[in-house]
Structure 1
Amino acid sequence: MNGAQLSELPDNSEQLLPFVVSLRRAAQQADQRCSIWTFSDGFLIKFLRARDFDVALSLKLLLNYLQWRRASPEISSCLSPSSVLGLLRALYHAVLPHRDHVGSRVLIYRISQWNPKEWSVFQVFRVSLMTSEIICMETETQRRGLKTIFDLKGWSLSHALQINPSLAKKISSILSDSFPLKVKEIHLVNEPMLFRPVFAMIRPFLPDKIKQRVHMHGTDFHNSLSDFFLPRVLPPEYGGEGLGIEEACQDWTHRLLQSEDILKRIAEHPVGDIYTGPCDSSVTEDVDSEQRSKR
């Protein structure tokens, strides 16, 4: 079976076990610090699915994930939604209730709702990491990945001054090859001239495959976004027919707050491995989009 076929199997499939055992053994051999931990099967399967069950690539991803957690305690040691509740309530971020046509999660970040005088770039980035930790527990998201829309309306010099080359490298490395999620597409809308120097700092650190997945739409984005997303997926504010962006932000804020205990456990665990399998009631799979549409 190829990687895509393996990814479709449930976590408890016997056919996945050899890959899990190989990745666990490789991690313990590659990093002595890994030998003191017993990685759960579910935790390792996240990394295997993110790299289509290529053990070598999954190992690299896992080691990168462990490295950034150690190197960035200012971000990884606090994953509390309550600590950034004001930013969330400002309707900065949403994970849309409907997946796209291939099953990918769709995320939206609204820069105009981020006030740099109140919230540092580390706190803003923490929001992204909290969401990433939650959705990478979803089996369907492990298989289908995610697509992100960054709405850069309101981007100003005060935003740009928060990001230096060192931070740009750290952010890009975490997003591109240090987290067990497949980034399928990145869409930029309302991008102003002031954003170009920042993107120029980030771009060199992105792998070529990610660079090819970045799409810039400008201010006339309603029609061009429809080339990538069905109308039922996007909020009306982005040319779709789905849930309004404010309600979508509120719903996801509620989801993060419900996940406070899970995120606390992830932050406190040495490697973030709290996975106990699909029967763990504290790790809930996302509701089917068709069920959500009927509410």
Structure 2
Amino acid sequence: MSEDLKKTASNGHVKMLIPEEQQGKINEVKKLIGPLSGKALVYCSDASISRYLRARSWNVKKAAKMLKQTLKWRAEYKPEEIRWEDVAEEAETGKIYRSNYTDKHGRTVLVMRPARQNSKTTKGQIKYLVYYMENAILNLSPEQEQMVWLVDFQGFNMSHISIKVTRETAHVLQEHYPERLGLAILYNPPKIFEPFFTMVKPILDTKTYNKVKFCYSDDQNTKKIMENLFDLDHLESAFDGNENTPFDINKYAERMKEDDKKIPSFWTREISPSSVANDVPSLDSIKLDTDSDASDNEKIVRSSDSVTNTGLMDPDQNSVNHEDRNVSAAVH
């Protein structure tokens, strides 16, 4: 294998491995984890282990430790047992919901509206977030493993956000759902939000931080980005799309209840053989782990070069390094 595929974090890149080496690392993690059964066995598919390895720069011991912590958390928290009735009160305002469309790469889209926050309890908000992460994963297509967050800041003020909840959210997502976020678009965030986001930077790992991008409706680059990522006929008008149907909690509740019925079979399914996952030009795969903070939060609306380099301007771009693809396309 060429030397450029063996670059490590010391020079600003995550180590890249050919598929055979990836599988070898996955097998090593399996040995460290030991025998599994039931839901833990279903969870620890090759694709899942691959995500933990990528999150830890293919360090087997660190990935195994991280995965063990997740298995312990899942055994205690039981996220797969949360149902709509458990979070319905949190959902009433439509502050977080799974859209009925995907982006052009087939990624599940979660819409978030922090101004519609209706709860003060950290426990309730985190439970609600976990439910939606599980639901988003449940609805991923077989060839896709990441999701997109669309955050609408209309009506937002600082009373709608909590450092404590933000810290706990970052912990749960980064430690127990690694490599699930493909891109988070913060749409029309007010000036007062930017200092807050800078303040929370230390609790975000570099890869997560680099996936968060600011977009503004009055910027032409933003419009091009949204056009290339989404079908505008399905995208909500809040993000400059053409869909004006308001959020209906009653219809949405029925949709979630139907999803809940799929959960038991999801956790008793057989794991399909490993296969190469869909090659999406996501920020995660283009802009790998870096030690430099110089352009961590560079606004995509201010730099056409950064947009081009992340592949956002061309949804058909295939410039992602093919050596760092997923080993398996299984959902978990």
The question of whether the paired residues in 2 share the 8 Å contact of 1:188 and 1:214 is answered with yes
Give the 3-state SS of the residue equivalent to 2:185 in structure 1.
Answer: strand
The question of whether the paired residues in 2 share the 8 Å contact of 1:136 and 1:142 is answered with no
TM, length-normalised to structure 1: 0.65
Q: How many Å separate the matches in 2 of 1:77 and 1:143?
A: 20
Query: Structure 2: any 5+ residue segments left out of the alignment?
Result: 1-15, 273-332
Of structures 1 and 2, the one with the larger relative CO (CA 8 A, separation 6+) is: 2
State the Cα distance separating 1:205 from its structure 2 match: 1.8
**What's the CA shift string for 1:188-230, capped at 9, x where partnerless?**
1232344345423432121212211111124647971540422
State the Cα distance separating 1:232 from its structure 2 match: 3.9
**What's the CA shift string for 1:53-93, capped at 9, x where partnerless?**
8683753542342354578x5x9597332233133232222
Q: Give the equivalent residue in structure 2 for 1:277.
A: 270
| 1:235 paired to 2:236 | yes
Q: Give the equivalent residue in structure 1 for 2:152.
A: 151
The question of whether the paired residues in 2 share the 8 Å contact of 1:146 and 1:183 is answered with yes
Q: Give the equivalent residue in structure 2 for 1:207.
A: 205
State the Cα distance separating 1:251 from its structure 2 match: 5.3
Equivalences for residues 187-206 of structure 1 within 5 A: 187-206=185-204
Equivalences for residues 252-267 of structure 1 within 5 A: 252-260=252-260
Q: Give the equivalent residue in structure 2 for 1:284.
A: none
Amino acid at match of 2:148: K
Quickly say closer, same or farther: Cα 1:5–1:77, change in 2 above 3 A. Answer: closer
Q: Which of these residues, 30, 38, 41, is aligned with residue 24 of structure 1? A: 30
Quickly say closer, same or farther: Cα 1:82–1:38, change in 2 above 3 A. Answer: closer
Quickly say closer, same or farther: Cα 1:24–1:59, change in 2 above 3 A. Answer: same
Q: Give the equivalent residue in structure 1 for 2:163.
A: 163
Q: Which of these residues, 110, 115, 118, is aligned with residue 115 of structure 1? A: 118
Q: How many Å separate the matches in 2 of 1:215 and 1:155?
A: 17
Give the 3-state SS of the residue equivalent to 1:185 in structure 2.
Answer: strand
Q: How many Å separate the matches in 2 of 1:49 and 1:36?
A: 17
Q: How many Å separate the matches in 2 of 1:192 and 1:55?
A: 39
Q: Which of these residues, 101, 104, 114, is aligned with residue 104 of structure 2? A: 101
Equivalences for residues 19-58 of structure 1 within 5 A: 22-28=28-34, 41-45=41-45, 46-48=47-49, 50-51=51-52, 56=60
Q: How many Å separate the matches in 2 of 1:4 and 1:132?
A: 30
Q: How many Å separate the matches in 2 of 1:61 and 1:3?
A: 20
The question of whether the paired residues in 2 share the 8 Å contact of 1:99 and 1:105 is answered with yes
Q: How many Å separate the matches in 2 of 1:26 and 1:123?
A: 34
Give the 3-state SS of the residue equivalent to 2:67 in structure 1.
Answer: helix
| 1:80 paired to 2:83 | yes
The question of whether the paired residues in 1 share the 8 Å contact of 2:108 and 2:139 is answered with no
Give the 3-state SS of the residue equivalent to 1:149 in structure 2.
Answer: strand
Give the 3-state SS of the residue equivalent to 2:124 in structure 1.
Answer: helix
State the Cα distance separating 1:243 from its structure 2 match: 7.2
Amino acid at match of 2:125: V
Q: Which of these residues, 66, 77, 80, is aligned with residue 71 of structure 2? A: 66
**What's the CA shift string for 1:111-142, capped at 9, x where partnerless?**
222224xx524322322211211232345267
**Which protein is richer in helix relative to its size?**
1
Q: What is the root-mean-square deviation of aligned Cα atoms in Å?
A: 4.1
Query: Structure 1: any 5+ residue segments left out of the alignment?
Result: 7-15, 29-34, 266-272, 280-295
Which is worse superposed, 41-50 or 55-64? 55-64
Count of aligned positions:
248
**What's the CA shift string for 1:6-51, capped at 9, x where partnerless?**
9xxxxxxxxx8x88765433213xxxxxx67556553212513535
Quickly say closer, same or farther: Cα 1:87–1:146, change in 2 above 3 A. Answer: same
TM, length-normalised to structure 2: 0.59
Amino acid at match of 1:112: A
Q: How many Å separate the matches in 2 of 1:22 and 1:251?
A: 46
Amino acid at match of 1:254: E
